[in-house]
Amino acid sequence: MEFDPRRPKWQQIADEITCRIDGGQYPPGFQLSEVRLAAEFGVNRDTMRKATRALRESGRITTTPGMGSFVADGDH
């Protein structure tokens, strides 16, 4: 993914993950690995955490302590 220097990377990553959720690539219940995604996008964990926080706040994912983050059920 090529990042737009005019927008924060975490926001662009959150948008890309939203597209993947909407497109069915990440179905409800799919576990999102911050480590794997950070490596895929070439960013550090803090950037990835900001993206997952935005996805959680928008209701796209849920996070269970000790278990991880998962794509939420339902439409958004």
Q: Using CB atoms within 10 A of its CB, is residue 70 exposed (0-12), middle (13-18) or buried (19+)? A: middle
Q: For the chain, what are the domain ranges?
A: 9-71
| pLDDT given at position 74 | 72
pLDDT over threshold 80, residue 76: no
b/e map of 29-47 (b: 16 or more CB within 10 Å)? Answer: eeebebeebbeebebeeeb
Q: Report pTM.
A: 0.92
Kindly give the pairing relationship between strand 31-32 and strand 61-64.
unpaired
Domain 9-71 is in which class?
Answer: mainly alpha
> What gap in Å lies between CA 15 and CA 21, rounded to an integer?
10
For 53, the token pair is 């926080």
In which band, very low, low, confident or very high, does the pLDDT at 75 lie, cut at 50, 70 and 90?
low
pLDDT over threshold 90, residue 63: yes
Instruction: Please write the tens of the pLDDT for every residue from 45-56.
Output: 999 999 999 999
